Structure 1
Amino acid sequence: MNTLIIDTPPTARRDESQAPSRRTPAEPKPATGSFQAVEPRIEITAPQGERYDEILTPEALAFLAELHDRFAGTRHDLLAARLKTRVHAANGRDPKFLPETAHIREDASWRVAGAGPGLEDRRVEITGPTDRKMAINALNSSAKVWLADQEDATSPTWRNVIEGQLSLFDALRGTLEYTSPEGKEYRLDRDIRETPTIVFRPRGWHLTEKHLRFHDRAGRALHASGSLVDFGLYLFHNAAKLIELGRGPYFYLPKLESHLEARLWNDIFVFAQERLGLPQGTVRATVLIETIQAAFEMDEILYELRDHCAGLNAGRWDYIFSIVKTFRSRGRRWVLPDRKQISMTVPFMRSYTELLVQTCHKRGAHAIGGMSAFIPNRRNPEVTERAFAQVASDKRREAGDGFDGTWVAHPDLIPTARAEFDAVLGERPNQVERLRDDVEVTAAQLLDIESAGGQVTEAGVRDNISIAIRYVESWLRGVGAAAIDDLMEDAATAEISRSQIWQWLNENTVTAEGTRIDQTSIVRLMAEAVAGLPRFEGDRFDDAISVFRSVALEPEFPTFLTVAAYARFL
């Protein structure tokens, strides 16, 4: 195992009271050559693979150390605040629109910066991990945007984290290639300027990078923040190249739970641009609204990021997970039915999306729709036909509701999604001018979980157990986006599956067939699910079962299944 010590200089703290200014983007100054060695700050505690030194340069790591010096403490404080919020929710205190920020919501005068170059038209965005093959497929697609996902669609192995950065580095320089074990060659089929605009999604605030150890000024050795590592490496190496290509460093920000977390990201953007010689406003961010807490603070989140904000996204799967997680111990009226029955048309989900569109357009921001989990199967025409029909219906609803774009998880779905948005947008790049003044969403509507209706069925219990175990097994092998039963599953859908099992178990839920869900029935169904799975050399099913037991069957509810699984297995 290699250990490398990187040095970084102390830096003066910015005046936090100053609002970021808006300046016209221009060519950045070189980032390298301005990071001087003073004292040990960062250790690499993992093996160095081929070309890792091109990403983990002394200058880049010194930049990461500065980010941690300035912002790791605030990150820690905000994670502690999340715990307090969850305790309040468990004790019966509902989320609400904040009275102390009412002036922000009521002030009609402010707007966000809006789309940067290459982000004006986002009608179809393809999402996926950053390994070389998937990156090439995404960039060769006809989507307008590629969400390069280092979060829910990526298992955060050390190899995936650094080689994902290498994929992006090479793609932006036109040198990205891949040869499969079977000898099939993949490469970009056009100039990088003609490929989908890249929007990079770093890991959420809750995740660490245990293979980089940060030494703070008190002498403590701490795991680095996954968010700061992913963001810092991508920005440091690629900002100048992206601007040269006529685009910019764009980010999707996941898992935010408050406007204070958005403020932290904005502070990071301001500092990073200043440190790397980038004009303020060069960075653009799209925030995923995928927690019930953030749904009540959408205006405030846009306001905090206003000089760097392009829009919001309706992260539907994590949003459902957040509902279950937040209200899991509040009684039976908070119990959701089978995941398949929680459609985007149930009242509480529709309220969430309509409020998002209205909030975005009121502030000049893009509203980006979520991802239908259905995917085609080229070997099964019936499955493919069903996927096309489901996706068309989903995207027709989003375009009709005012969304400016949407997500798909497979290149074959792009024409279907695009057709629905083309029908509404025509030649317009978006419909931000559509203000949705007809929408009025209350706190009660956002919290009307009972409106979902539906039932908990034995089939739903079986599906959740099977999906969670199979996905976690895939994730432990380093595959973060997995096609399971003709659906695209990622960490968010696995979280729904295991959290519903926990809630159903702890609420003594009875299925529609009359079976009480208890430890005995869950263990029996687990055994049946695993017995039907094909085993193979190198599989991680035993470890996946261990993870599932710890996150679904224990009295304590882990906030994220990925946190403990990462610390233990990756």
Structure 2
Amino acid sequence: MDNVELNDPPYGLEKEFNTLLTADAIHFLSLLTSTFNNDVDKLLWNRTARKVHLDLTNSYPDFSPATAHIRNDTTWRVAPVPRRLQNRHVDIGDTAPCQTERFHQALVSSAQGIQVDFDDGNCPTFYNQIKGIFNVYQVVHEKIHGLPPVSQAPILMLRPRAWNMVEHNMLINGREIPGPLFDFGLLMYHIGRRLYENESGPFFYLSKVESFLEARLWNQIFIWTEEKLGLPLGSIKATVLIESVLASFEMEEILYELKEHSAGLNCGIWDYSASFVNKFGHRPEFLLPDRSKYVNMEKHFLKSYMDLLVQTCHRREALATGGMAALLLPKDKNSTEYESVIAAVTRLKLFEINAGVDGFMVYDVDLVAPMQKLFQEHSSGPNQLHVIPSMKISQSDLLVMPAGGVTLFGLKYNIAVGILFIDAWLKGEGHFYYSGKVEDSATAEISRSQVWQWIRHQVKLEDDDRTVTRGLVRALVQQVERQLGDESQPADLQERLHTAAELFMEIVLKRDFPEFITTYLNLDHTFLRRKF
């Protein structure tokens, strides 16, 4: 028997803790982790080695000749899409299940699905993980009055943490358990069979996958789990989020590795854009301009990525889904601002529909109905698997950076988002509202990435020709902190915002780019010593 150490239950969650972390569930987590621990280590080492190789050789990613036979074989397909996944027009994104009210609101909506998010839109405190998994458990086992049965509710697209995250509160053989194995293992143990029996899953999102080898590992985990829980092969279906530029060159291979377990691929703008800075930000040719002015899905490198994703998926009869609309609708439906938000979201999502996506996400529940109507008006049937873009997407199409500079507004906006995200994390929340949008770790990633890169390359502002330096950024951080703060707030809230501003400066001034802001914060003493 493996040695397992588990922290005490979070305050106020003793019932939830004892329901989930039974002796049998802990044994299952222990077996799962000990079986795949070495593979997780290799995965992370391979990521580091790949980055080092690209840097040492000053080379670019490309479609690999070693796997050309997979791309060139026109005969293979993923397993057929399950009935309940065939219509994915509109899902509700960034739904952290620890936020009970929002989670339940999503369940009674008309959305096709819910992104049950333990990753980008969630802060992974022990309280939030236990509360969130328990809330899902309660819903699947139909213990909440007033909610539809799981077979009739929007499908649950469960999104465990990515491989860069660890669970600090559970050690197996002296090592912290990988975050995704903790989330996936508990969810599968407690609700996997019930979801399968209700033709409602288990369906997953896989975050931040960087290569087909990582997809292969997930496939092995799925097979092992199905065997242990007595589920048929292929019961688990997963949508891989293509959030890394490296993964965009291996989309066919990723689908191939997950063939029996694939629910398709997903494209989103901000994590993917941030990955360019993550992998190549020190190279001048990959200088990414102001996202608030020059970066959107219509730009060539992002449109090429979306076109390739749709083409790849539909050739293999897999679903291709788009990103999330982050805009929030004003309460006054008769206001010009309301009409403006509807128009903006419609334009962006119509662009994705015309590109051939089978669905996308919205954050605001009130956007579900108008976006479903938009899909019905501009496409036929439950999906667009019949739409296969014919263009040839090359290496240069995926790597060319858009033209543009840096504005003072964009610099200050990125600073504000970065500070507010850290502030949200320090109070145990994974997303927040700012300037009419929901912001989460994806927008925090691109925000801090751009500030780091602009300092690194000493870019000049379009507004007044000033150079983006450490001194300028520090002065703007102080200015933004004052604007975001409120002197009438209690001293501890003011201190938390100041701590967030200092952490933001620390991150953007690092000599070497911190790979993920969430990893950096999750391992920081400021986060670890807080009691949630």
Map of 2:166 onto structure 1: 208
Task: Report the identity percentage.
Answer: 37
Matches within 5 A, 1:435-450: 435-436=388-389, 438-449=390-401
Output the TM-score relative to the length of structure 1: 0.88
My pick for the range that moved more, 203-212 or 366-375, is 366-375
State the alpha-carbon separation in 2 of the partners of residues 543 and 369 from structure 1. Answer: 35
Secondary structure (helix, strand or coil) at the match of 2:484 reads coil
Map of 2:37 onto structure 1: 72
- Unpaired runs of at least 5, structure 1: 1-38, 178-186, 216-220
Deviation at 1:88, TM superposition (A): 2.8
Q: Which of 136, 161, 164 is the matching residue for 1:168?
A: 136
Matches within 5 A, 1:102-501: 102-127=68-93, 128-131=95-98, 132-176=100-144, 187-188=146-147, 190-215=148-173, 221-331=174-284, 333-340=285-292, 341-378=294-331, 381-426=335-380, 428-436=381-389, 438-449=390-401, 452-501=402-451
- Counterpart amino acid of 1:500? Q
Deviation at 1:544, TM superposition (A): 1.2
1:157-181 per-position Cα deviation (integer Å, ceiling 9, x unaligned)? 101111100110011122237xxxx
- Unpaired runs of at least 5, structure 2: none
Q: Are the aligned partners of 2:210 and 2:247 in contact in 1 as well (CA < 8 Å)?
A: yes
Map of 1:93 onto structure 2: 59
Q: Are the aligned partners of 1:465 and 1:497 in contact in 2 as well (CA < 8 Å)?
A: yes
Secondary structure (helix, strand or coil) at the match of 2:228 reads helix
Deviation at 1:533, TM superposition (A): 1.7
What count of residue pairs does the alignment treat as equivalent? 512
1:507 has 2:465 as partner: no
My pick for the range that moved more, 245-254 or 355-364, is 245-254
Secondary structure (helix, strand or coil) at the match of 1:307 reads helix
- Counterpart amino acid of 1:336? L
1:75-132 per-position Cα deviation (integer Å, ceiling 9, x unaligned)? 1111111112222333421011011000000001111114224111101111111121
Secondary structure (helix, strand or coil) at the match of 1:510 reads coil
Deviation at 1:379, TM superposition (A): 5.5
Secondary structure (helix, strand or coil) at the match of 2:177 reads strand
Q: Are the aligned partners of 2:458 and 2:469 in contact in 1 as well (CA < 8 Å)?
A: yes
Secondary structure (helix, strand or coil) at the match of 1:287 reads strand
Map of 1:41 onto structure 2: 3
Map of 1:552 onto structure 2: 508
Q: Are the aligned partners of 2:269 and 2:296 in contact in 1 as well (CA < 8 Å)?
A: no
- Counterpart amino acid of 2:457? E
State the alpha-carbon separation in 2 of the partners of residues 470 and 211 from structure 1. Answer: 26
Map of 1:50 onto structure 2: 14
Output the TM-score relative to the length of structure 2: 0.94
State the alpha-carbon separation in 1 of the partners of residues 92 and 117 from structure 2. Answer: 10
Secondary structure (helix, strand or coil) at the match of 2:175 reads strand
Secondary structure (helix, strand or coil) at the match of 2:151 reads helix
State the alpha-carbon separation in 2 of the partners of residues 86 and 412 from structure 1. Answer: 42
1:302-328 per-position Cα deviation (integer Å, ceiling 9, x unaligned)? 000001001000022110110121111
| Cα distance change of structure 1 residues 541 and 149 upon mapping to structure 2, 3 Å threshold | same
Secondary structure (helix, strand or coil) at the match of 1:390 reads helix
Larger relative helix fraction: 2
Secondary structure (helix, strand or coil) at the match of 1:193 reads coil
1:324-354 per-position Cα deviation (integer Å, ceiling 9, x unaligned)? 21111011x3111111220100000000000
Q: Are the aligned partners of 1:123 and 1:406 in contact in 2 as well (CA < 8 Å)?
A: yes
Q: Are the aligned partners of 1:361 and 1:435 in contact in 2 as well (CA < 8 Å)?
A: yes
